[in-house]
Structure 1
Amino acid sequence: MQTIQKRKSFLGKLIVPAMASAVLAYFVVSAKTGQYGSEAKVAFSRQLAVRNAVYSELLAKRDALERRVRAMKDGTLERDMIDENARRALNVARDDEIVILR
């Protein structure tokens, strides 16, 4: 009875570590540059700062509008406020008036 012996190749021992290191490299690159990686975190923080600035501007505008509405709602409408709102809405001024736009 004859047996055929195979010699184990050197490359056969490297297949599993090579595949494992390729998978590990994929996850490392993904953690660095992926959609939720460390570089994306910096971009998200910049975007958050910009949106917080826009949000604070909108809050200031809202407060100003709420103050104007409260001034008109309290039952004692001033003639100046009514006149100012009508002129602004209709875009009208008299010849002897000076209009200062802010």
Structure 2
Amino acid sequence: MRTRFKRRQRFGRFIIPALSVACLSYFGFHVWHGSFGLNSASALEVRRVELAQRLDEVSEQRETLERRVKLMSDGSIEADMLDERARLMLDVIREDEIVYFN
């Protein structure tokens, strides 16, 4: 009885390492250059700082508006607050007055 041994092809033993290198290269590239990769981490940090500053500004404006609303809505409107809002919204002044707006 004779047996024939199949001769292994040379490129067959390089298929799995080549696929492994290709996969590692693909994922490695996206770790570095992806939208949440290492390069964009610094840009995301800069954006976070900008948004934190904007949040502080908006919070301060909100507190100012809340204080003004509280003065007008506690049952009795302050006369000077009503006068100020009427002058600002309607551009109403007397002839003998000079008004400076901040």
Shorter-chain TM-score range: 0.7 to 0.9
Shift of the 81–5 alpha-carbon distance from structure 1 to 2, 3 Å rule, reads same
The equivalent residue for 1:62 is 62
Paired with 1:95 and 1:39, the residues of 2 have a C-alpha distance of 64
Measure the CA separation in 2 of the matches of 1:7 and 1:96: 110
TM-score (norm. length: structure 2):
0.78
Unaligned runs of 5+ in 2: none
Match of 1:93 in 2: 93
The structural deviation recorded for 1:45 is: 1.9
Moved more, 69-78 or 51-60: 69-78
Return the TM-score normalized by structure 1: 0.78
Aligned to 1:21: 21
- 2-side partners of 1:16 and 1:63: how far apart? 63
AA aligned opposite 2:45: S
What per-residue deviation string (whole Å, max 9, x for no partner) do you get for residues 15-49 of structure 1?
Answer: 22111101101011111111222223322222222
Q: Residues of 1 paired with 2:48 and 2:6: CA distance?
A: 63
- The equivalences for 1:41-60 within 5 A come to 41-60=41-60
Identify which range, 31-40 or 90-99, moves more after superposition. 90-99
Q: How many residues align?
A: 102
CA distance in 1, matches of 2:48, 2:17: 41
Measured against aligned partners, the alpha-carbon deviations of 1:34-69 in whole angstroms (never above 9, x if no partner) come to 122222332222222222111111111111011111
